[in-house]
A = this chain, B = another copy of it.
Amino acid sequence: MIKEIAQITIKPGMDKQFEQGVSQATPLFLRSHGCHGVQLFRSIEQPEQYTLVVDWETVDDHMVLFRESPEFQQWRGLVAETFAAPPNVHHVSKVL
């Protein structure tokens, strides 16, 4: 199991729209192959910065199966207009 870490900076004043979009998109993630959870965190120091954390069985479940699925297009359709810049995405594995 690995985690997708997506750092997302939104446009000023779009926090409610973005959070609603993530909430609406959560079922799209959860029904995708290998997805085991979605969490959203907001920076305290820089409130326009969010971190989306998605648990996947493998990197390919995210980067191949999900990215090429209609669910990815629906997810981006729900939130893309709130983004100030393209998300910064990487993957991590748990050490401790």
Q: Does A35 count as interface, using CB distance less than 8 angstroms?
A: no
Dominant SS at the A interface? strand
User: Does the CB pair A43–B96 fall under 8 Å?
Assistant: no
Q: Which of A22, A43, A90, A96 has the most CB of B within 10 A?
A: A96
- Which interface class (under 10, 10 to 19, 20 to 34, 35 or more) fits A? 20 to 34
Report copies per complex: 2
Q: Does A40 count as interface, using CB distance less than 8 angstroms?
A: yes
A28 → B minimal CB distance (Å): 14
Report the bound CA distance from A94 to B52 in whole Å. 10
Interface residues of A (CB under 8 A from B): 2-3, 5, 19, 22-23, 26, 38-46, 49-51, 59, 90-96
